[in-house]
A and B are shown apart, each in its own frame.
Chain A
Amino acid sequence: MSKMHVKMTVNGRAVEALAEPRTLLIHFLREELALTGPHIGCDTSHCGACTVDLDGKSVKSCTVFVAQANGAEVTTIEGLAAADGSLHPLQEAFREHHGLQCGFCTPGMITRAYRLLQENPNPSEAEIRFGISGNLCRCTGYQNIVKAIQAAAQQMAVATTAPGEAAE
């Protein structure tokens, strides 16, 4: 099958490659770019293990052709830590609150939670549960994931509020 020239920005880095247009974004990320953080857990877009951020939206990269991501800005779990290597508050909170066990859903789950908190920086428990309902976890029963996302939201709110402004 003939290949197309694809260009995109992944985790802040410009990448280009030749790929069959039917290549799924998840395979392109994992096999072409060696970004093996996002995983494949199903064939029907239910599990969310492959979740990445595409132009400011959470997408299931197993259901996006690489051709559709041409020219896009993509963020994966590998792109969430700061340039100095310090972890994103969600990454810290998942560890702190035991929000993971086997770790297979974790990259997709954190990447989804990252976008959720961009969309809604102060979600209620119900909003978090609904907001991550496209991501399945077989180990944790979600309770500690919800706790971790709540904790990260608080942490991020504190970080974005300058000292002295916090209390009103």
Chain B
Amino acid sequence: MTVQTPVSLEERKDKLQGLGCSRKRVEDARFTQGKGHYVDDIKLPGMLFGDFVRSPIGHGRIKSINKEAALAVPGVKAVLTADDLRPLGLHWMPTLAGDVQAVLADEKVLFQNQEVAFVVAEDRYAAADAVELVEVDYEELPPLVDPHRSMDPDAPILREDIKDKTEGAHGPRRHPNHIFTWEVGDKAATEQALAAAAVVVEEQITYQRVHPCPLETCGCVASMDKINGKLTIWGTFQAPHAVRTVASLITNIPEHNIRIISPDIGGGFGNKVGVYPGYICSAVASIVLGVPVKWIEDRMENLSTTAFARDYHMTGRIAATPEGRITGLWCHVLADHGAFDACADPTKFPAGFFNICTGSYDVPVAYVSVDGVYTNKAPGGVAYRCSFRVTEASYFIERMIDVLARKLDRDPAEIRMINFIRKEQFPYQSALGWEYDSGDYHTALAKALKSVDYDGLRARQKASREAFKRGETRKLMGVGVAFFTEIVGAGPVKNCDILGLGMFDSCEIRIHPTGSAIARLGTISQGQGHATTFAQILASEIGIPAADITLEEGDTDTAPYGLGTYGSRSTPVAGAATAMAGRKIRAKAQMIAAYLLEVHEGDLEWEVDRFQVKGNPERFKTMKELAFAAYNQAIPGLEPGLEAVSYYDPPNMTYPFGAYLCVVQIDVDTGVTEIERFYALDDCGTRINPMIIEGQVHGGLTEALAIAMGQEISYDADGNVHGGSLMDFFLPTAVETPAWETDWTETPSPHHPIGAKGVGESPNVGGVSAFSNAVNDAFAHLGLTHTQMPHDHWRVWQTAQRLGVTG
């Protein structure tokens, strides 16, 4: 006779691999063997390739386009221009920000590399050959590059299509190059606070134009099936359902006849939220030619045309008491949106959630105004690894706090401690309209300072400065302190929508009779590991091992409707939907258990993977048993089956926070800045998978390093884009990237079903400020308050030279 060893509670929990465990990723088997399935891997019978003819100039009028030579290239099937799209009404398309964008340049070109014609050929080489042969005759117009000049009376008018429109998507326009003005807060009270303050600091802070630059560029394969009238588009879409709805609205193809599929996506970081001309042109070409058409950007096209980020020119003023207590915050932003307003912000927020710029501080009054303007630059303004405009806001306040500390000759950590929102103030109503759900900032910063021996660092810095004075070293040490509060998980449908689409998200679960499951979500992973982590949430909710749960996302024909993955919204919104759908499963399972165990539902309690009779745990039914019964046993009053769907409309955003410290050593004679140490403490609420959290933090910090220390897309006076290839757009290699130290505190979100807040973007939001504060700190004793990013060797050397410390 065999005696079965009873399985302990801990063993049962471990078997689930639920919340809190560092479960290995289920995605990795295919990726490590080269079996990922990305859009450029798709090969369909008869498939053609599309490629763009692009504008060589920043501003001009198209006088003529001659396609003849291009059409004569063997293998070329079509050359489309705006005139070809016009009869379909597809030569312009709506942007996510309520503006319109030319799909193919319509009479004018407005930025360098703008799409002018779309060549379709049998292979990518023939298409590229033909692109060279399309002759476009331009009349050059004066380019408008400096956003500070956009609203000058004599500025060239860029958007002739809307030059007489005095009302834009976000209110009145006062100049043909003006997009919107957005104001939040109490202007009069803030001005009063500034006038009455003992201490006022002011600074001009620019967050330069950068690009998310995922390793895989954007692309798609469009395939129109003329027999059944169905258009299928595989593409790099961070929001496949939104793409389907928008595609239906602009093409008039009924939504059920459009299927959008996001296959594996090679990183997104906000680059793949928008709708780009390549998608429209491929779809039109497929509809016209009756065969599938593939379009894949090259890197230069990616960096110079699809979705830049930032480009915020900010002026800030802080009013404070002599002790350093902030009494008011004023901010004006000049936002350079390029030639079309193609930001991916919720409709009511033309500057995103920039009004989180009071940061982690108890600021009694504040006022923000943002002017959005057009220039002859690529459109975009996307949230590059952050919630909408949150990195800009965080960078602004974290630099301003340091500027205040300098003015008062106080330690930047101390000024932060003095002004933090206190734990007991949560939920906290900010002066600019947000309700912060939870936080414990003092504990987090105190832990960070202790972990890095902050006092020791400052003492070492003092000694190092003295050694510098004595000529014993040519290096300056800087210590950067940054504390951030993010606002993620957009968002409550009552105030968050994109083009009218509410920003809820969804999860649908089917439990199979033998006790395994499939769950489908409205989001789409681009490397975050959803198939691993969402299965963990479910495992803990329904007691089925994560390994027995398949996760599917990205196919609009099968997944429930959702607004996709960006702005750290997957865990706060779809993760919540997952937990809620799991609870519906459990509620039905409880009814089944009550019937099978012949007790009242209320006499049952849930334990890990089963319902057991209260006070008599020997009597139980596991979820696996209940699943089988759900399908195969007639239970009075209950339908067969065990499925659930949840559409989750979050009651609030979530507010992850963290404390970052960075130590740099700057060689003043070369400007080379070594990152000696970087410590990141993150509080993302409940931690689902610590391994994945740590990986996200490493990656986000590396992107922050890139932005702070080197990335920039700039334009010369003629409108030529610089930084448009990896020749000169900085992506750090393993050599420049330091080893990261990670840490955490855990303050669960009170309104999220499992208390999770999202983490993927925090390190980018907090990281940039920490690097920049460290560089500024290195020169603080020489009188520097602020120097602009990126802190590449050249700029750092220039700063050193300006301050008179170069050799």
A81 within 8 A of B: yes
Q: Is the CB of B215 within 8 A of A137?
A: yes
- Chain A contacts for B217, CB-based, 8 A: 41
Stretch at the interface among B263-271, B367-375, B473-481, B642-650: B263-271
B449 within 8 A of A: no
Which of B216, B264, B265, B703 has the largest number of chain A CB atoms within 10 A? B216
Supposing A43-B725, A140-B695 touch, asked if A103 and B740 sit within 8 A by C-beta, the answer is no
B80 within 8 A of A: no
Stretch at the interface among B25-33, B94-102, B159-167: B25-33
A38, B701: Cα distance in complex, Å? 26
- Chain B contacts for A137, CB-based, 8 A: 215, 734
A13 within 8 A of B: no
A16 within 8 A of B: no
Supposing A38-B34, A103-B266 touch, asked if A136 and B731 sit within 8 A by C-beta, the answer is yes
* Chain A positions 36-75 with a Cβ under 8 Å from a chain B Cβ: 36-44, 46-47, 49
A91, B701: Cα distance in complex, Å? 25
Chain B interface size, as a band, is 35 or more
A132 within 8 A of B: yes
Q: Residues 140-163 of chain A: 1 if any B CB is under 8 Å from the residue's CB, otherwise 0?
A: 111111100000000000000000
Q: Is the CB of A102 within 8 A of B34?
A: no
Q: Is the CB of B695 within 8 A of A81?
A: no
Q: Is the CB of A27 within 8 A of B124?
A: yes
Q: Is the CB of A47 within 8 A of B215?
A: yes
A135, B733: Cα distance in complex, Å? 7
A43, B29: Cα distance in complex, Å? 28
Q: Which one of B25, B701, B731, B734 contacts A146 once the chains associate, using CB atoms below 8 Å?
A: B734
Which of A20, A42, A43, A94 has the largest number of chain B CB atoms within 10 A? A42
Supposing A23-B125, A138-B214, A138-B269 touch, asked if A36 and B699 sit within 8 A by C-beta, the answer is no
Q: Is the CB of A143 within 8 A of B265?
A: no
Supposing A20-B125, A42-B726, A47-B726 touch, asked if A136 and B733 sit within 8 A by C-beta, the answer is yes
Q: Is the CB of A102 within 8 A of B725?
A: no
- Chain B contacts for A27, CB-based, 8 A: 124
Q: Is the CB of A141 within 8 A of B698?
A: yes
* Chain A positions 99-116 with a Cβ under 8 Å from a chain B Cβ: 100-107, 110
- Chain B contacts for A107, CB-based, 8 A: 31, 34
- Chain B contacts for A42, CB-based, 8 A: 298-299, 725-726
- Chain B contacts for A1, CB-based, 8 A: 125
A8 within 8 A of B: no
A7 within 8 A of B: no
- Chain A contacts for B727, CB-based, 8 A: 44, 46
- Chain B contacts for A135, CB-based, 8 A: 733-734
- Chain A contacts for B213, CB-based, 8 A: 138
Q: Is the CB of A44 within 8 A of B725?
A: yes
Q: Name which residue of chain B comes closest to A128, CB basis.
A: B734
Supposing A49-B215, A141-B740 touch, asked if A76 and B692 sit within 8 A by C-beta, the answer is no
- Chain A contacts for B30, CB-based, 8 A: 103
Q: Name which residue of chain B comes closest to A131, CB basis.
A: B734
A119 within 8 A of B: no
- Chain A contacts for B692, CB-based, 8 A: 98
Q: Is the CB of B38 within 8 A of A39?
A: yes
- Chain B contacts for A95, CB-based, 8 A: 24-25, 28-29, 32
Give chain A nearest CB distance to B129 CB in angstroms. 9
Stretch at the interface among B136-144, B280-288, B526-534: B526-534
Q: Is the CB of A36 within 8 A of B34?
A: yes
Give chain B nearest CB distance to A41 CB in angstroms. 5
Supposing A27-B124, A96-B24, A142-B737 touch, asked if A103 and B264 sit within 8 A by C-beta, the answer is yes
A139 within 8 A of B: yes
- Chain B contacts for A105, CB-based, 8 A: 215
Q: Is the CB of B699 within 8 A of A101?
A: yes
Give chain A nearest CB distance to B8 CB in angstroms. 26
B43 within 8 A of A: yes
Q: Is the CB of B266 within 8 A of A39?
A: yes
Q: Is the CB of B726 within 8 A of A104?
A: no
Supposing A36-B41, A37-B34, A102-B526 touch, asked if A43 and B216 sit within 8 A by C-beta, the answer is no
Q: Is the CB of A142 within 8 A of B702?
A: yes
25 contacts between A and B (CB under 8 A): A1-B125, A36-B41, A37-B35, A39-B38, A41-B266, A44-B725, A47-B299, A78-B34, A94-B28, A98-B691, A100-B28, A100-B31, A101-B528, A102-B214, A103-B28, A106-B32, A130-B735, A132-B733, A136-B215, A139-B695, A139-B699, A141-B698, A142-B702, A144-B698, A146-B734
A37-B36, A102-B267 known; 10 other A-B pairs, CB under 8 Å? A46-B731, A77-B33, A94-B28, A102-B527, A137-B215, A138-B213, A138-B702, A139-B267, A140-B702, A141-B737
4 closest residue pairs by CB, A with B: A37-B34, A104-B266, A102-B527, A103-B31
What residues of chain A have their CB less than 8 Å away from a CB belonging to chain B?
A: 1, 20, 22-23, 27, 30-31, 34-44, 46-47, 49, 76-78, 80-81, 87, 91, 94-96, 98, 100-107, 110, 128-130, 132-146
